[in-house]
């Protein structure tokens, strides 16, 4: 059985557990952690996580962040100048952070407390935004569960996106094999 098969099984176990009520947003976040070299395999099998969610008696919705930066950049009035002077982009990235958080909050607002929302494509945020900042921005809006497909490492409460050197401590429920 492959790593992704095992992740789907582990995920379904978590989805089937009774959900605690009255908990804070950060406690409603699950991180499905897998090696970055499994990203393409995982994406091909994302619907299996949705099916596992339905079998567990919950609804499923998803949000792909892969093209978030490109879509945001395409809408920027000064996008050409950012390409000429990339250092100037640093000041505009706060708007990008709000844009990405807004994408997720829109989905969260449309769903109920029995819905799992799967967020994937977080690797495309690398260098533009920290996943920890994104989780902080959306945590208070989570009513059901938020599952983040996370290509990286987990050790204790420390998560590292794409196996980067620096990580951060987060209290999300890790789902690993």
Q: What is the pLDDT of residues 153-163, one digit of tens each?
A: 887 777 777 76
E strand segments, the chain: 29-34, 59-64, 115-120, 145-155, 158-161, 168-169, 173-175
Please check whether residue 73 lies inside any domain of the structure. yes
Q: How far is CA 90 from the centre of its chain?
A: 23
C-alpha dihedral (68, 74, 75, 76), degrees to nearest 10: 110
Q: Which residue has the tokens 């000041």?
A: 91
Please check whether residue 21 lies inside any domain of the structure. no
**Cα angle: 51, vertex 45, 19; to 5 degrees:** 40
Measured CA distances, 161 to 68, 79, 125 (Å): 17, 27, 10
Residue 47 banded pLDDT, cuts 50, 70, 90: very high
All residues at 6 or more sequence positions from 26 whose CB lies less than 8 Å from its CB, including other chains: 135, 139, 170, 171, 172
Domain count, the chain: 1
Q: pTM value?
A: 0.91
Please check whether residue 145 lies inside any domain of the structure. yes
Please check whether residue 17 lies inside any domain of the structure. no
Q: Which two tokens stand for residue 93?
A: 């990235």
What mean pLDDT is predicted for residues 74-89?
83
Please check whether residue 141 lies inside any domain of the structure. yes
165, exposed or middle or buried, with CB in 10 Å at 0-12, 13-18, 19+?
exposed
Residue 164 banded pLDDT, cuts 50, 70, 90: low
What is the domain range of residue 82? Answer: 3-11+28-175
**What is the per-residue pLDDT for 104?**
97
Structural contact between residues 144 and 109, judged by C-beta atoms closer than 8 angstroms: no
């Amino acid at each position: 059985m492959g790593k992704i098969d095992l992740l789907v099984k582990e995920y379904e176990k978590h989805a089937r557990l009774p959900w605690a009520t009255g908990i804070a947003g950060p406690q409603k976040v699950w991180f499905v952690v897998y090696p970055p070299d499994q990203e393409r395999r995982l994406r091909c099998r994302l619907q299996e996580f949705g099916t596992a969610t339905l079998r567990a008696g919950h609804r499923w919705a998803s949000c792909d962040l892969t093209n978030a930066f490109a879509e945001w950049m395409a809408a920027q009035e000064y996008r050409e100048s950012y390409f000429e002077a990339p250092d100037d982009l640093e000041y505009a990235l706060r708007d990008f952070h709000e844009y990405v958080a807004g994408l997720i909050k829109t989905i969260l607002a449309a769903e109920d407390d029995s819905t799992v929302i799967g967020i994937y494509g977080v690797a495309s945020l690398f260098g533009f935004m920290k996943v920890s900042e994104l989780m902080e921005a959306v945590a208070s809006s989570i009513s059901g569960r938020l599952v983040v497909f996370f290509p990286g490492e987990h050790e204790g409460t420390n998560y590292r996106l794409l196996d980067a050197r620096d990580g951060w401590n987060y209290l999300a429920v890790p789902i690993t094999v």
